[in-house]
Amino acid sequence: MPASSDHDPGAGEDTGDGAGAPSVDAAEIAGFEALAAQWWDPDGPFRPLHRFNPARVAFIRDRACAHYGRAPQTHIPLDGLTMLDIGTGGGLVAEPMARLGAEVTGIDPSAKNIGTADLHAKAMGLDITYRTATAERLAREGKTFDIVLALEVVEHVADLGAFLGAGAHLVRPGGIFIVATLNRTARAYALAIIGAEYVLGWLPRGTHDWNKFVTPAELRAGLEASGLRVTTVSGIVFNPLTASWRVGTDTGVNYITVAEKTP
Amino acid sequence: MGDHAEMMGDIRAEVTVVGGGMAGLTLALALASAGLKVCVIERADPARWADQAFDGRVSAISAGSRRVFETLGLWRAMAVEAAPILDIRVTDDDQPFFLHFDHGELGLGPLGHIVENRVIRAALLGAVDRSPSLALIAPRGVAGIERDGREAAVILDDRRAVTAPLVVGADGRASAVRDGAGINQTEWRYDQAAIVTTVTHQRPHEGAAWERFLTPGPFAILPMTDDDAGRHRSSIVWTEQSDLVPALLDLGAADFNGALGERFGDHLGAVSAIGPRWSYPLGLSLAESYIADRLALIGDAAHAIHPIAGQGLNLGIRDAAALAEIVVDAARLGLDFGMKTVLEDYQRWRRFDIVALAATTDLLNRLFSNAFGPLRLIRGLGLAAVNRFGPARRLFMREAMGLSGDLPRLVRGEAL
């Protein structure tokens, strides 16, 4: 299984502000920056992620609509909701969310990613606030959002607990935190690392470090320690016949979790 | 219906459809039914579409296509002038074997309907007029198409531009959209042409369609509604070797009717041709890709198959239903539906169906357009075997009815 890893190293401090980076891994960021310009090339290195995108975007839309009592099939179902996308990468999720009506802020510790994302959103006529920043920094500023996303981020952070704490802080009371990542199973190792990086060449080698993958139990514990209540854990599974992804019950490789903050 | 005088400047749409034929307008109406803003550009003048002279042909509407039309609210306007096909009889020249498909066996209603193209076009046009999010710009030519990472701009021959994230080529067999995008096609030409005309006969056809496999190629008799004078009518598709066709078209009425009667048979009494005679060279062409960045092809622009199975328009309608579903679903996720990564789902969905059908019709044609004795015996036995074996017969019927495979929602009768 490929696909994760669009949103890269999401946590930690700004690389630029010298404030120290407890949960950012500098070597990983450098690797992603090399790819920043290719985010939106349908035949480029992020092609698998574009194929992966509809399943998780549908999940986010549907969970957000269920939580806020909106009808998902309407024109702009997320109209007026504020959303933070941590580790926004090239904006692959931020853009569709903005089209669905959300007021989106995208942050990423990589200035190159933010530059690429901002340029692309402007070209598409979308109003998205992009900042080179970390979750910790935004949390210190006291900002909160109706929906916070951390997609394919936690498997890249150095300190999971610190990252989830900052993310939880950014959710306004009554809001939701959606976290997607890779499970630390033998199957995930075979599919995400051997399969996607080495055999299929879907992802650059070295994209993932299996030891940093997070199990659903660890993620649940971290979210609960940050004062959130986990409401949904779903798998995102690959169908090789249609080369497409859908949300299902198998959390053995890619999975996505929703947690609520008490109002 | 959009119009030239009112729209002076450039136009922004969500999908631009080049070609306002039956597949193109069906797609446009399906997209508009889900609230997308659609602009259709058509070269010909819609005011002429009702003329017999513009297009005197009929189309076989499969049960699947009928459901698409029903779901989009178009069928009511066609139904009164649609002749149901209640059974299909397949014969092989003068072989004794005979294959009979009876609609009663499946219990799903008629096997299909024969509708004159002018009736289909009028129904589509009426719906276009009523659709608030659809603009038809016609008659208007296209000077060129420019595509980049952000949008596709269709430059009209009056220098205006229609821009949208996606342009669809529904501009037929000689598609300029396809050629302009550098998409090659694989083409076979058969050394055959089809003569198409309308005939009257003494006795009613009782909803029977005939496919006679004669040596020069298939001869199809398709049941039509009675005309205003109450005459019983059928449409014929008469395949002949290409070099014989001009002479046949030039025959006087009596001689033409004589040649017609030999092939038609006398089961419906005396037969005579009415209205103009048309001829179409037969070929098979498949675009090497149905998609490119910000571009998709539907209908004959993507594939033109041998008319032996009567599936040409049905494939185009199925393309329209599949593409509309992919685009609408992606739009509801806020995705950029002009991206190739989205359009690939359309290509994957349709390509298998179409290549399979093209190969089957090509094979049928080669098998049956042949006087070689052993081959004729084999195919005769094949017909007899299919006829005796219920499951195979029902499978063929479901296939011809357009009710098999992974069906788009519109084909299942569900709104987008």
Any CB–CB contact under 8 A between B405 and chain A? no
Three-state DSSP at A52 gives: helix
Minimal Cβ distance to A50: which of B150, B333, B341: B341
- Is residue B410 included in any domain, yes or no? no
Query: Looking at residue A180, what DSSP letter applies?
Result: E
Three-state DSSP at A36 gives: helix
| pLDDT value for A243 | 75
Q: Which domains does chain A have, with CATH numbers?
A: 26-261 (3.40.50.150)
pLDDT band at B111 (very low <50, low <70, confident <90, very high): confident
Q: Provide the residue type at B395 as one letter.
A: L
Round to whole Å and give the CA distance between B149 and A124.
10
Q: Provide the residue type at B327 as one letter.
A: V
The per-residue pLDDT for range B5-26, each reduced to its tens digit, is 344 578 999 999 999 999 999 9
Round to whole Å and give the CA distance between B120 and B77.
8
Any CB–CB contact under 8 A between B173 and chain A? no
- Is residue B275 included in any domain, yes or no? no
Report whether B137 contacts B40 (CB < 8 A): yes
The per-residue pLDDT for range B45-91, each reduced to its tens digit, is 988 876 766 677 889 898 899 999 999 999 999 999 999 999 888 88
The per-residue pLDDT for range B378-406, each reduced to its tens digit, is 555 555 555 666 666 566 666 666 666 67
Report whether B171 contacts B300 (CB < 8 A): no
- At residue B2, does pLDDT exceed 60? no
Q: Provide the residue type at B139 as one letter.
A: P
- At residue B101, does pLDDT exceed 90? no
Give the CA count within 13 Å in the CB-facing half-sphere of A147.
32
pLDDT band at B310 (very low <50, low <70, confident <90, very high): low
Minimal Cβ distance to B332: which of A53, A73, A98: A73
pLDDT band at B151 (very low <50, low <70, confident <90, very high): very high
What is the average pLDDT value for chain B, to the nearest integer? 86
- At residue B309, does pLDDT exceed 90? no
| pLDDT value for B104 | 73
- Measured at the alpha carbon of residue B383, what is the angle toward residues B382 and B384, in degrees to the nearest 5? 90
Report whether B222 contacts B84 (CB < 8 A): no
| pLDDT value for A8 | 41
* Mutate which: A39, A97, A100, vs B, most B CBs within 10 A: A100
Counting as low any pLDDT under 50, the low residues of chain A are 1-21
| pLDDT value for A72 | 93
Count of domains for chain B: 1
The ipTM, to two decimals, is 0.84
- Is residue B251 included in any domain, yes or no? no
- Is residue B177 included in any domain, yes or no? yes
Count of pairs with CB atoms under 8 A, one residue in A, one in B: 47
The per-residue pLDDT for range B178-223, each reduced to its tens digit, is 999 999 998 878 788 889 899 999 999 999 998 888 888 889 899 9
Report whether A203 contacts A155 (CB < 8 A): no
- CB contacts of B406 in chain A (<8 Å) are none
* More confident call, B96 vs B299: B299
Three-state DSSP at B368 gives: helix
Contact B339 A50 (CB under 8 A): yes
- Is residue B246 included in any domain, yes or no? no
- CB contacts of B12 in chain A (<8 Å) are none
* Mutate which: A6, A39, A49, A57, vs B, most B CBs within 10 A: A57
* More confident call, B346 vs A38: B346
- Is residue B100 included in any domain, yes or no? yes
Closest by CA position to A154, among listed A193, A116, A182, A119 = A182
Helices (H), chain A: 26-33, 47-68, 94-99, 111-123, 135-141, 160-169, 186-188, 216-225
* More confident call, A35 vs B270: B270
- Is residue B77 included in any domain, yes or no? yes
- Is residue B30 included in any domain, yes or no? yes
Q: Provide the residue type at B42 as one letter.
A: E
The per-residue pLDDT for range B227-259, each reduced to its tens digit, is 989 999 999 989 999 999 999 999 999 999 999
Dihedral of CA B12/B16/B22/B26: which sign? negative
Outline where DSSP puts E strands in B302-344.
303-304
Q: What is the 3-state secondary structure (H, E, C) of B255-308?
A: HHHHHHHHHHCCCCCCEEEEEEEEEEEEEEEEECCCEECCEEECHHHCEECCHH
Any CB–CB contact under 8 A between B412 and chain A? no
| pLDDT value for A9 | 37
CA distance B398 to chain A (A): 24
Report whether B9 contacts B105 (CB < 8 A): no
Other beta carbons within 10 angstroms of residue B265's beta carbon come to: 13
The per-residue pLDDT for range B325-334, each reduced to its tens digit, is 999 999 999 9
Q: Which range is least confidently modeled, A67-81, A239-253, B116-130, B131-145?
A: A239-253
Q: Which domain holds residue B133?
A: 11-187+285-400
CATH number of residue B64's parent domain: 3.50.50.60
